[in-house]
Copies of this chain bind each other. A is one copy, B any other.
Amino acid sequence: MTTALPSPRVLPHPTRDEIRLESVLHALSDPVRMRIVSELADAEAVLSCSRFDLPVSKSTTTHHFRVLRESGVVQQVYEGTAKMNGLRRDDLDALFPGLLDALLTAARHQGARDAL
């Protein structure tokens, strides 16, 4: 039987035109979230939340993924029990050409500096 209730198995995303630069920058101004995005970009694939080894609790992880989704940086889809995450590269590149790549490069450079 199909559940009558509107089970929130579908996650709300901003459309492309609803994505705001401020929100994207705010989302990426947290190191944990920037790390998620970097790993996602490196993987060039869709990853489940649990594939990330983050220095925070599970609740906090959920929170960070939601911020990334609501700001339009990632797309999330349920696949069984897992929630798969993908970078919204097309939308971001269309809206802010070159920005994502510059951010990823910047994060990588800073990571290299910190490792010294």
Contacts and interface: CB of A to CB of B under 8 A. Distances in A.
For the complex, would chain A's binding face be called helix, strand, loop or mixed by DSSP majority?
A: helix
A21 B110 contact: yes
A97 B102 contact: yes
Interface stretch (A24-32, A52-60, A75-83): A24-32
Interface string A31-54: 100100000000000000000000
Given A22-B29, A25-B28, A29-B22, A103 B107 contact: no
A28 B101 CA distance: 17
A88 interface: no
Interface in A76-114: 95-99, 101-103, 105-107, 109-110, 113
